[in-house]
Amino acid sequence: MPTYLYIAKTKKGENKAGALEAINKHELAAILRQQDLVLISAETTAQKEKAGRFNLKDFLQRIGRISLVEKMIFSRHLSIMIKAGLSLNQALCVLAEQTKNPKFKKIISRVEEGLRRGQPLSDCLAKEPKVFNELYINMVRVGETSGNLDKVLKILAEQMRKDHELISRVRGAMMYPAVIVTAMIGIGILMMIMVVPKLTEVFTEFNMELPLSTQIIIGLSNLLKNHLLLGLISLIGLIILLRFGLKNKKFKRVLDKIYLHLPILGSLVQKTNSARFARSLSSLMESGLAIVNALQIVAGTLGNIHFKEALINSAEQVQRGKELSQALSNYKNIYPPMVIQMIQVGEQTGSLSDILKNLADFYEEEIDNTTKNLSSIIEPVIMVVIGAAVGFFAISMIQPMYSMMGGL
């Protein structure tokens, strides 16, 4: 029988630590209840010793991610189980056993443990902010208050399904050009390191006067050949710097502004943020949340900082008595006119939630059409760029060779 090191609370709210033998945590909690104590946390002495040592498996679990699909399945199954009459504790125990992701399994178990201590589900989920965002927690809180948690979880599952489809479409559209550009850069580096130095030796032997374009390629080749490691370190450093830069509000504002003004991509960013805004706001309003609170929560889910700030400012204006369509009309350069007009119709007819849902469907379909056509638009552009790069390289290398042959 394992010995548990526990922390419990007395009736006066004071913490008490101790050690007890028990078959499992459930029995430990029962023993402590007999002593008028409420179990807060417990771990076996073996777990305590293990925690002091580095464990690769535990480390990988901690840094592992929980996908949107896993959270979607969790929400859908929890909704079905609650509707079927299972208690939250029973449903969470079943889901923890079914989940293949070890990290998610531990998180669900911690949530279930919090429920056994008498905490609401929303408070237990709020302790896992890296997994459950503000929108998710607030919708669950509304579901608990209104008594329709199963319905709210179903809405959340649908919201995440739509989000996953949206992200997949955009990523899928970007995948083709990204692979082509990466392959082109890789082949270019290999040419510079392996082919150009051999040609350079020939040019050096004949003591030829080289054109400027050839000198540029030879200079770049020497740089890559002699400082490849430094170049790789610099590239990694640049990526790390960019990641940290994205956390800086001023840098992110500039970058997001550039995204909005890029051809094709700017339109895609606008449509993606508009679709997410409409879908999230519709879900929150459908679950019964007040519009001001809903706007503040939705602002936190948007990727582009300009959309986020526009929505936060609009929420403040709505709180002062303005209609949402009037507040958003100040940001016509960010939110498309159609969004503002449709919201105005929804406010006038009293069906804003349904209008927003239709608006989200429309923009998601627009994104689908844009991403389908994106590869056909980008492909010729990439071919022109590759052709220009190959042509420049060929002319720069072949021209001196012709001059050399002419001089023989």
Query: Do 193 and 225 contact (CB within 8 A), yes or no?
Result: yes
In a domain, 156, yes or no: no
Q: What was the pLDDT predicted at 368? A: 80
Predicted confidence (pLDDT) at residue 59 exceeds the cutoff of 50: no
Domain that holds residue 16: 3-53
Q: What is the predicted pLDDT for the residue at 384?
A: 85
Would residue 347 count as lying in a domain? Answer: yes
The CATH number for 270's domain is: 1.20.81.30
Q: Does 76 lie in the same domain as 43? A: no
Q: Do both 48 and 72 map to the same domain?
A: no
203-214 burial, b if ≥16 CB within 10 A, otherwise e? beeeeeebeeeb
> Are 287 and 353 part of one and the same domain?
yes
Answer with the one of 117, 132, 147 that is the final residue of a domain: 132
Domain boundary, last residue among 53, 74, 95: 53
Give me the helix-helix angle, 352-406 and 337-349, nearest 10°.
170
Split into its structural domains, the chain has a count of: 3
The per-residue pLDDT of the chain, averaged, comes to 81
Question: Identity (one letter) of the amino acid at 119?
Answer: Q
For residue 13, what pLDDT is reported?
A: 66
Question: Are 78 and 44 members of one domain?
Answer: no
The verdict on residue 146 lying in a domain is no
Is 24 inside a domain boundary? yes
Is residue 123 domain-shared with residue 183, that is, in the same domain?
Answer: no
For residues 144 and 152, give the distance between their C-alpha atoms in angstroms, rounded to a whole number. 9
The reply to whether 246 and 315 lie within a common domain is yes
- One domain for residues 70 and 96: yes
27-31, 234-238, 243-247: which range is least confident on average? 243-247
Indicate whether 110 and 221 sit together in one domain.
no
CA dist 292 and 297 (Å) reads: 9
Q: Looking at the domain assignment, is residue 400 inside a domain? A: yes
pLDDT at 280: 85
| 116-161 pLDDT, tens digit each | 888 889 899 988 888 888 878 888 888 887 778 888 888 888 888 8
Least confident of 195-199, 202-206, 384-388: 202-206
58 lies in some domain: no
Residues 115 and 229 in one domain: no
Tens digit of each residue's pLDDT (9 = 90 or more) over 85-120: 888 888 888 888 888 888 888 899 888 888 888 888
90 and 171 part of one domain:
no
Query: Based on the domain organization, do 321 and 355 belong to the same domain?
Result: yes
Residues 69 and 94 reside in one and the same domain: yes
Does some domain include residue 109?
Answer: yes
Which residue has tokens 């509000």? Answer: 249
